[in-house]
Chains A and B, each alone.
Chain A
């Protein structure tokens, strides 16, 4: 009898231990503090924000809290990539989505989240005043970035009724990917070259740098592999929209795409990049530039300009110029609509969450971020006075933002970064890539023509 009792007690003890391992959902959600019996509940609201932007620090949210007493913000930074999106999906599946989240694309589950009603429709809120202005929220945002974001949603979402073109706004762009070429002035002086005014001069400069023993361009292929190609596509195929491929108006091996690939292939063959570029990441590219082995670097300003400026050897000066258009058109920045924020439809404090969302897409916020060289996703951008490098980014911003000019391939069907890398190691030519694209397009889920 004693042994039976002991055995049963042991089983019950194990089950209690296992039960105690579960999380307390109520405590972890941004809910009001629970009140003990007889006490009044606290009116303080806590909002959770999850993102991958390292420059969006706690100080930013302290400023929001200062301006909005009664609202606290729990800032959760998660490194970009699989760690972020796996966590996002996990939280969505357990109904613990933070109040505001950064979203990815189709493969990161964005459209599934929308289809399951987990993302708030901001359409009605867009006509209300912005955070720091009497203008409507919508009118303060960059038209090009908004259009770019919404048109991609229109193409990639399955449910027609939920598409932005049918009156929905699921996310807003956050920051603009604005690109310029940062260069080492000392190397330029030594080689006897100047900032290029045309693309041909840019290529000639690169040839001279190579002859002088320098790597003309540092490039972080692992993270930013397709940026050059995207920039050239904006020159050669400016009038082609992503939707044109979907509708069949433009073929995936169109001559305008061929031209962009040929420009890119030409630069590779002329040795304008390091031979090890295909496996180079941001840290490798930065190291080449800082060690003065590479003379130029085509990068975004946030996070990186400050690093380069702070780590260059003493006495070395840096300059920046807007990349001259390969076809003579104004060189546009590749758009920042891939960075986007959304509000959770399951937020327990929707009004406060909306207020925070407005703050995160406001002039107030981007003024705070200007020290990190973040280019805003708003109308009009003024660089800090006297900052020559950010002035170049401002000029790039003025030229506008490139919209998508490439067929919307899903990465598991055709990975553009892999094709790009293949070109870098000489495995693929332009003809090979266009052939692969033609073969892959019929299998692409976004190709609505072949799905019929």
Chain B
């Protein structure tokens, strides 16, 4: 090898060594907390494992768990519940977040106080949120029914968490309450990037507020909305903690989502293998969904 090439190679190796040594801690954390658990989940999904003792001493079942998932009625029910929850939750959350972000964007009097106030639900711990909302929805002495009675609207009273027709919607409302503020903040910060020139030009041309929102602000916000949609849907499919605390999937599985179902399979029933298989199926779905939405996002990207 010519001398110059050797020197260049050595220089490159030295530069790379420094670079890799600097990112090594981060890579190690990434491997330990993301890659390794993922590989372990794949391994679990191939065995009938109860969580005690060595995995490899358990019964190897191959892809049996995946096959079982496709005929599992309760898993099917959980998927339907999750789709319903995710679609309604995401649409409601983002609509509300967009409207409130625009409200803040208008910078009316006291908007900074509103910004803080509207964000408050996001900082309430999830356990506290679940307890508060359970008492709001409680049928006999809950706040919601009390208000309905006070407004002489008794016919709208329900046992919100005990009735099949109302339980999931009650969960969605409370989920929107604590998840919307973050989306509002992201959309608001995105709105702030919109050049004022565009809006002023539109106003000079005689555009109304509704036309400005519909034809300028909203189209420019599409990448942010798509991003928030991906995050929201992924959270809804992964999440279980809030519903576990709130309704535990009841009544009779009406609010049981896939995350909670997988959690119960692992930690309540001791079926770690099956729970891992369910998690992998959900992961595969989310990867496909995310790739689709990210592609869409790229097409709608604007440079300001």
Contact = CB atoms under 8 A, between A and B. Distances in A.
Nearest to B51: A89
A422 interface: yes
A89 B28 CA distance: 27
A288 to B, nearest CB: 6
B292 interface: no
Interface string B161-184: 111100100000000000000000
A276 B167 CA distance: 11
Instruction: Output the residue of B138, B251, B253, B269 with the most chain A CB within 10 A.
Output: B251
Instruction: Output the residue of B18, B21, B253 with the most chain A CB within 10 A.
Output: B21
B135 to A, nearest CB: 9
B52 to A, nearest CB: 4
Contacts of B21: 7-8, 10-11
Contacts of A106: 270
B159 interface: yes
Interface string A1-28: 0011011101100100010000000000
B204 to A, nearest CB: 57
Interface stretch (A71-79, A235-243, A277-285, A349-357): A277-285
A309 interface: no
Given A108-B270, A276-B159, A418-B253, A14 B53 contact: no
B22 to A, nearest CB: 7
Interface residues of B, number: 34
Interface in A280-334: 280, 284, 287-288, 291, 293
Contact of A422 (B17, B18, B24, B252): B252
B138 A276 contact: yes
B252 A421 contact: yes
B50 interface: yes
A264 B252 CA distance: 17
Interface in A351-365: none
A14 B52 contact: no
Contact of B138 (A6, A107, A284): A284
Chain B interface main SS type = loop
A279 B247 contact: yes
Contacts of A112: 50-53
Contacts, number: 99
A422 B167 CA distance: 14
A287 B141 contact: yes
B251 A113 contact: no
B112 interface: no
A275 B142 CA distance: 14
Contact of B53 (A11, A107, A116, A275): A116
B269 A107 contact: yes
A276 B162 contact: yes
Given A280-B162, A287-B141, A412-B269, 6 more contacts: A7-B17, A92-B53, A109-B51, A109-B52, A277-B162, A288-B140
Sort A-B residue pairs by CB-CB distance and give the 9 closest, nearest first: A276-B139, A276-B159, A112-B52, A7-B21, A279-B161, A412-B269, A107-B270, A82-B267, A109-B52
Interface of A: 3-4, 6-8, 10-11, 14, 18, 82, 85-86, 89, 92-93, 106-109, 112-113, 116, 215, 222, 274-280, 284, 287-288, 291, 293, 410-412, 418, 421-422, 424-425, 427
29 contacts: A4-B17, A7-B17, A7-B18, A11-B21, A14-B28, A18-B28, A82-B267, A82-B268, A85-B267, A86-B51, A86-B267, A107-B270, A116-B52, A116-B53, A215-B140, A274-B139, A275-B139, A276-B138, A277-B162, A279-B159, A284-B138, A287-B141, A410-B269, A411-B268, A421-B250, A425-B162, A425-B163, A425-B164, A427-B252
